């Protein structure tokens, strides 16, 4: 078994008596993240206003290459990066028809940043949202796939649900959508937390 403790020495040494089991955003950070923060600060000091050409050029390209490699994608340029979920979702929704409410298929287990935004769109009549209950988990994929056969502009579902850790077969869910639907798989809670198969 691969022992990665040496890569997390600052977190582990800060409280050696602590036992931590969360595989989530509150997990210990690897030492390299501290080095990256310091490098970002040094780059900003060195480049001042020209830092964005560096960050949005070579740094972003390197990130995309690492992410594409981890995901097994053939082209790093297929990785879209956004500063937050709101901006990313608005970019996605801008591809949908504007003359009627956007028809969205999703689950009732999506992360707050998406769930709150589509709830707000529903409130003002900008979206018609169908939420498939995640529980019971044993039948979720079948129920979601059955619903995906209807006419939706956007199919948005998590690979791993933040509130339960349930992992759906994202490929099967995506393939169930009609060809005219945009499919978004929220991979945040699964990225780097699950083994590649």
Q: Which of 48, 78, 108 finishes a domain? A: 78
Q: Summarize the confidence of residues 25-54 as an average pLDDT.
A: 90
**Whether 70 and 98 share a structural domain:** no
Measured in residues, the chain has a length of 197
Domain total for the chain?
Answer: 2
Angle between helices 85-93 and 112-123 (to 10 degrees): 50
Domain that holds residue 136: 85-186
CB atoms under 10 Å from CB of 111, counted, come to 15
Mean pLDDT of 163-182: 91
Regarding whether 94 and 51 lie in a shared domain, the answer is no
Q: How much is the pLDDT for 20?
A: 76
Q: Are residues 96 and 56 in the same domain?
A: no
Say if residues 175 and 147 touch (Cβ distance below 8 Å): no
Q: Is 194 within the bounds of a domain? A: no
Are 67 and 111 members of one domain?
Answer: no
- Span 138-168, pLDDT tens digits: 999 999 999 998 999 999 999 999 888 899 8
Which of 78, 106, 130 is where one domain is finished? 78
Q: Would you give the distance in Å from CA 83 to the centre of its chain?
A: 12
Nearest to 115 by CA among 98, 138, 96, 134: 134
Q: Which residues touch 8 (CB under 8 Å, ≥6 apart)? A: 28, 29, 30, 31
Look at residue 24 in the predicted model and tell me its pLDDT: 60
pLDDT tens string 58-95: 999 999 999 999 888 899 998 888 888 889 999 999 99
Cβ count within 10 A of residue 148: 22
Question: Considering the chain, what is the average pLDDT of its residues?
Answer: 90
């Amino acid at each position: 078994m691969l022992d990665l403790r040496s890569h997390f020495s600052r977190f582990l040494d800060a409280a050696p008596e602590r036992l931590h089991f969360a595989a989530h955003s509150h997990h210990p950070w690897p030492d390299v993240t501290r080095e990256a923060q310091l490098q970002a600060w040094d780059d900003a000091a060195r480049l001042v206003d020209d830092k964005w050409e560096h960050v949005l050029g070579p740094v972003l390209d390197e990130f995309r290459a690492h992410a594409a490699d981890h995901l097994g994608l053939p082209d790093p340029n297929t990785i879209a990066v956004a500063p937050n979920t709101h901006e990313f979702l608005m970019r996605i929704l801008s591809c949908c028809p504007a003359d009627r409410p956007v028809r969205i298929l999703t689950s009732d287990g999506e992360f707050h940043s998406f769930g709150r935004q589509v709830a707000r769109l529903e409130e003002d009549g900008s979206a018609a949202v169908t939420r498939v209950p995640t529980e019971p988990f044993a039948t979720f994929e079948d129920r979601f796939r059955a619903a995906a056969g209807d006419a939706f502009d956007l199919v948005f579902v998590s690979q791993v649900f933040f509130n339960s850790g349930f992992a759906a077969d994202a490929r099967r869910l995506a393939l169930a959508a009609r060809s005219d639907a945009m499919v978004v798989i929220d991979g945040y809670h699964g990225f780097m937390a699950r083994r590649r198969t």
